[in-house]
Amino acid sequence: MNSPVLHLKQAGRLDRLFIDGEWTAPAGTAHAAVVCPSTEDTLCEIPLGDARDVDRAVQAARKAFVRWSVTSPKERAALLDRVHALIIERAELFAQALTMEMGAPINYARGAHVPLAAEHIRVARDNLASYPFRVQRGTTAVVREPIGVCALITPWNWPIYQITAKVGPALAAGCTVVLKPSELSALSALLFAEVIADAGIPAGVFNLVSGTGPEVGAALASHPQVDMVSITGSTRAGVLVAQAAAPTVKRVAQELGGKSPNIVLPDADLPRAVSLGVAAAFRNMGQSCSAPTRMIVPRSIAAEVETLAVAATEQMIVGNPFAEATTHGPLANRAQFGRVQRMIEAGIDEGTKLIVGGTGRPVGFSKGFYARPTIFSDVRTDMTIAQEEIFGPVLAILPYYTVEEAIAIANDTVYGLGAHIQGKDRERMHAVAARIQSGQVHLNYPAWDPQAPFGGYKQSGNGREYGIEGMEEYMEVKSILGYYA
């Protein structure tokens, strides 16, 4: 198999944007390097679009919306089915791209990144097939219609997964889209644009403009013919998009930062609770907005928790992401590597108890953005590492005396994206879950559910992705009074 870079280069797509069904040169000459995080070598350069490219893409999407918005659900579902099939067919190419561009271990890319991304398309297709776009309520018809042209801004940490989480339901709803993927992980986005084209999605329904947030992201958010923006990114980026969108009063859906708690109740199966908690916190090398990076444990068993947590960390294999045995690769980029190092230093400087890991690269690595899986214990809730999103393999263990205190610690953050609770008493777990201020609560590490709405309270954002609610984000509600079915 050709490498993703060679594949895209040979196809003439590596230096192109995808607008109105065509692979087209950007208006400007700016480029960005795509860097392999495991070697720090430049893989290739990709073009950066600007406001002129954004306007072309928006105009194409606006024109295509006239036809796409009135296609039948059956027609849209058939096209989404084709998109799903092509992602599965090209899964290895996507996996290779993810390992190259953001360092996901190849088996994790194959087993999580790509198949879960495909699931978002399948769920959008299935929900579309049975969704009631018109509901009779007395003599009023309540109708849901596509909102229009949607700007989709996606991050580098789960590149294809976040793309499909937005594109799938937006197209299912009858919207047309302009995608701005992260310029740091553009290879998988270009491969997805190929899938869209090969699946037969009509010209203009899907457009891709690579570029930076200050240039392309801002142009999309402020464009008067964009009806909605959906962004996944940092809270800071979400605020900037909302500010840019405000003058045109468009809808803004935001999936932003997190500092998710993991409450270990006194009756929890401790070995399972701790080992799976460490694994969840460090999945994708900790680069997940909903990762449970605050483990809240009974003070009386904190020492046992520490022992179990260290043992779980020692089972991880940090290494070359192309090696089959590797469980954890490098961080995705240089800037993130630097941030993680600074946050570990902050934990040490604030006097927390470092029980494993620390600053610097793991033994045996002199280059690459590799970080040491790090756990701090006896952390107070007012400390930097308990409050700020780190986005790396850093876990804080916070002790509590009572369950009431555990709930207070869990809610003591500006974020509210995800939460976990471990225990055996289901009634008590349900009672605790009801008091946690977050968009999702996971009880005893359940399986991932692509139909479960995902989104945040507080500064973790607004709106929901996944499932029925994710599709409804891309719709307007119209009431037709005096309508008799």
Q: Are 169 and 57 in contact (CB under 8 A)?
A: no
Round to whole Å and give the CA distance between 119 and 93: 17
Cβ(214)–Cβ(134) below 8 Å: no
Rounded distance between C-alpha atoms, residue 263 and residue 407, angstroms: 8
Asked about 255 being catalytic, the answer comes back as yes
DSSP label at 328?
Answer: B
Both tokens of 446, joined, read: 């359940």
Alpha-carbon span 344 to 357, nearest angstrom: 9
Task: Supply 203's token pair.
Answer: 């010209």
Q: CB-side exposure of 428: number of CA atoms within 13 Å?
A: 15
Burial of 401 (0-12, 13-18, 19+ CB in 10 A): exposed
Q: Does the annotation count 350 as an active-site position?
A: no
332 backbone dihedrals φ, ψ, rounded to 5°: -75, -25
Residues in the chain: 485
Could you give the CA distance from residue 17 to residue 54 in angstroms, rounded to a whole number? Answer: 10
Q: Under 8 Å CB-to-CB from 104, ≥6 apart: which residues?
A: 95, 98, 113, 284, 321, 329
CA distance 405 to 399: 9
The residue from 44, 150, 175, 289 that is catalytic is 289
Which segments of 223-333 does DSSP mark as H helices, in order?
A: 235-245, 270-282, 302-314
Catalytic residue (choose from 255, 389, 465, 473): 255
| Contact yes or no for 393/371 (Cβ under 8 A) | yes
Instruction: Count other Cβ atoms within 10 Å, centred on residue 296.
Output: 29
**Residues marked as catalytic:** 255, 289
